[in-house]
Structure 1
Amino acid sequence: MSSTSDERRTRVLHAVDQLGSVRVTELAEQLRMPVITLRRDVAALAEVGLVHRVHGSVVSTSVQAGTAVLGPSVGLLVPGVGQYFDEVIAGARQAAGPTSAQLVLGISSYEASADRVQVDQLLRSGVEGLLLAPNWTADARPQDQDWVARLPVPTVLVERRPAPGGEAAGLDTVSSDHRHGVLLALRHLSALGHGRIALMARSDTWTAHEVRRGYAEGCELLGLVPGPVLESGIPVVDAAPVAEALADGVTAVLVHNDQDALQLLPLLRARGLRVPEDLAVVSYDDVFAALGAPPLTAVAPPKRAVGAEALGILLRRLGSPAATPVCHLQLLPELTVRESCGAARR
């Protein structure tokens, strides 16, 4: 999803939170948006539980049977909505339900400079705690991260791990162990007889950095000769490097993420390459890997569980900060085997 749609949906959320309940047509007029565009935005926000749709109206999740939510207000900062972090949001929201905690969403659109701006807005809205997924790069220094440790409310890092030695290392963190997830994929492909496995991965996100590290570590651990590491989605997905890798003995490829893996499939077919007969493909994320043709075997990070566990830790810290030890929690991904690696057929 583009940064424009992120910003638009943030405006919609803020307006609905202020109004409580409003007809879609009236909200479209107030925000000066086409009704059809607003309906799409409302549908996307409702799908992940950030608003409710009721008979042509949109209702804030903080309005329940006419009674205001009594639990703490928690800010949740994510780098975007529409794919991976939708599941994290859904997990946090599900965990918030029984506690009556109110989630307030901020979207930074993968811009590091936007993180502090969004956090400041969340703090001004009165949140009592923060769940943060800041846009940290692979080469981030401790001093670039330490500002999150100086925030005036309890903070839990989500799908991020701070550099050792900095102030941020003293914060609670909940994340997926992506390196373990990559190891699962490599071990599975190796067991199917693939001795040379390529990696096609992005290089512009925290998860992509962890996937790349996990690939190098996994190949060494399993005694595999590393295949080529191909850039994915920069600027667009390209099948040519994959086809060249096949000529160099590569028989399988792990692709980060689902979107790029799904785009790769028809490009391979256009070159006369069959999946899994000529090339086994495993995707990373498992957001919509099952919709591929063929359905993609995929590493599935525990996205909902990450959101739920992060909220639980934050609520415990809000309730008894002195009695709650700092927690660095990593949850293990799973491998969902489908047709694209040839395992089902074999």
Structure 2
Amino acid sequence: MSRMSKFRKLAGISAFAFAAMTAVNSASAANWRYAHEEYEGDVQDVYAYKFKEYIEENSDHTLQVFRFGELGESDDIMEQTQAGILNFVNQSPGFTGALIPEAQIFFIPYLMPTDMETVVEFFRTSEAINENFPKLYADKGLELLKMYPEGEMVVTVDEPVTKPADFNNKKIRVMTNPLLSETYSAFGATPTPLPWGEVYGALQTNMIQGQENPIFWIESGGLYEVSPNLVFTKHGWFTTAMMANKSFYDGLSDEDKKLVQDAADFAFEEIIEHIDGLADESLAKIQEKSDDVTVTRLSDEQIEAFKERAPQVEEKFIEMTGDTGKELLNQFKEDLKEVQSE
């Protein structure tokens, strides 16, 4: 074989090797898809983009984020995740509760504290959050990557509320969540399940007289414009969960699994910093934009009247979830007791 023939042959082998190597690299660099339930700049959006930032800075993968409405409502993005169309989804237990009844535990009123330091420490250390819940989600084809708090729940109503009797004959919008309906029934209201896209119009036309959400979402969604009386009942925090399609996650390399877990942890730390002071900032924006807004913060005595009705919601939770729910509730209480004792 002549020197030129050898060179051509070697060049051909090198070109083939380079093409094969490029194909392998291209195959290992994926574009992942992630959907959440909120608008641009809201808490879930900030979390998603921090997750994306970590993934893209520490790998060749890219991440495409879809916000509320771009792929449908909450039920739609969960179905797409379970079908493998989406790789990641951020959805609150308010909607996941229909799929995983035990996730409704976050809607037992006055179970969770409302001071941020205790809430954050609970999410960091809770056995229920970090060990029990992942197993429940796995049974539904979901890899639970992180649960995190978004903010204290605030009720907006057509007139100020200070006692359960004030909720009589008021239709309060709830997520499609049986236990949340039980909570507002216990409070004396008429719970009315509605998808998020219909809430503003329903408040505007008096089809419903109130709803609950964290204050940043009330500001971001303009709900104070059509439901201007804000009531701080201190009955709980809005919680959300970020998860992956389990088949997708299980198929990742160990390196990519670690990447995803590290990205979820990174985004968690960033979001905890983000929500610190967010409620006060959002309330200030609302009050600056509207002179019609009233703010009612219930006293301890007024809260007690609502808190007395919580046990019937606990009983309903256990009825819905059986022994699994009862064990989870006991673990929740143990975890909270430990955090609060510290």
TM-score bin (small chain): 0.3 to 0.5
Question: Which structure features the higher share of helix residues?
Answer: 2
Q: Which has the larger radius of gyration?
A: 2
* TM-score, normalised with respect to structure 1: 0.36
Which structure is higher in RCO with an 8 Å CA cutoff and minimum separation 6? 2
Query: What TM-score, normalized by structure 2, do the two folds share?
Result: 0.36
